[in-house]
Amino acid sequence: MSLSSWLVAGIVPGVERQPLKKLEPDEDQLLKLMNRWRHEALQAGHAIERVVVAYEAGRDGFWLARWLRERGVEAYVMHSSSIAVSREHRRAKTDRLDTELLMRAFLGWLRGERRHCSMAAIPTIEEEDAKRPNREHEKLVGDRTRIVNRMKSTLARIGIRGFKPTLRKAEEKLSELHTAEGTLLPENTREELCRDIARLRIVREHLKEIEQQRLRKLKTATPAAKGRHAMIHLIARVIGIGIGIETADMLVNEILSRHLRDSKAVARYAGLTGSPDESGKRRREKGLARAGNARVRRGMIQLAWRFLRFQKDSVLAQWFRARAADGRSGTRKTMIVALARKLLIALWRMTTTGEIPEGVILRVA
């Protein structure tokens, strides 16, 4: 699937050839093509009762799968990284070969072969929309940091240090700044910094708007209501999660509201599992798999450090201190990842079964 075309390959009962058709990116044309293939199978004496479609996860997301399911087509989205590819140094790669590879992997999955490939859970449009505020907030925080760092770098080139672009009166203070040579800011540099401050003001306003809107939605929902709002209220009660609800909102919408099978699936989705490399007598660990949700992984490692500060008497914090007693930085970095994994599983159990982690202090509801 690309912006310019879709390449559709299929297996039709009663038809010896494996049809391959290039289409414009149009879902209606895709449905017409499948109906035509269904008619060809019917003419060959095979009545089609089940139509199954799969495509590789990518830029187009899940809308096509939802659209097909509404029209009676069994649709799936395949994890790109779960499909085994040839390890030859130079191999032919075309759209036709890719469709054959996807088809082989999909047929193996339909036969029930384990680890042949894996499918992504298809969220509803409401579930996807619930992730947007947190992801936009994360992007705006990055934009704010980039603007501030760029302004500091611009001032450092002319010998000015210690200026804080985040101050409310930063634009007024620009006219009072002097370079290392004792002169006022050059005209072009001052105008550039004023434009950066204007961009920074807009970013901060957008951040405030997102945070206030999220709080309004949480206040209108009753704490006893089931669903994501209740989970966010519960997670936000854990002291150390953060002053606001940003971390709780991210965890609930990105992972805790998903219907994951067990604790291993929770850690695997966050990419907080190891990647062992074993062959014969060789045994080594290559670090985190990093195959899961990067937002959850980053957030949990940051949360683990805060957890050690605010939940010192909890069992998880004591477990960490016992294993990092040697004080080496390497040990602490390794064990903080293990703590993040345990903490994520504990939060998942708390939101699904109500089991409060031992020794964890909660705010008053």
Residue-level pLDDT at 342: 96
Domain count, the chain: 3
Please tell me the predicted confidence (pLDDT) of residue 226.
Answer: 62
Q: Does 115 fall in a domain?
A: no
CA distance 7 to 4: 10
Within a domain: 361: no
Q: What is the domain extent for residue 89?
A: 6-110
Query: Which of residues 327 and 134 earns the better pLDDT score?
Result: 134
Same domain, 202 and 304: no
- Provide the pLDDT for residue 153: 95
Q: Is the dihedral of CA 346, 350, 352, 354 positive or negative?
A: positive
Structure tokens, 303: 């949360």
Residue 322 counted as domain residue: yes
Judge if pTM exceeds 0.75.
Answer: yes
Give the alpha-carbon dihedral of 304, 306, 307, 311, to 10 degrees: 160
Backbone angles phi, psi at 284, to 5 degrees: -155, 160
CA of residue 54 relative to chain centroid, distance = 22
What pLDDT, on a 0 to 100 scale, did the predictor assign at position 243?
60
Average pLDDT over residues 295-311: 93
Residue 307 scores a pLDDT above 90 = yes
Query: Residue 73's pLDDT is what?
Result: 95
Average per-residue pLDDT in the chain?
91
The CB density around residue 144, as the number of other CB atoms within 10 Å, is: 18
Q: Which of 169, 186, 220 is the last residue of a domain?
A: 220
Q: What pLDDT band is residue 28 in, cutting at 50, 70 and 90? A: very high
Query: How far is Cα 239 from Cα 283, in angstroms, rounded to an integer?
Result: 40
- The predicted structure's pLDDT at residue 233: 87
Average pLDDT over residues 126-144: 94
Last residue of a domain, one of 179, 194, 220: 220
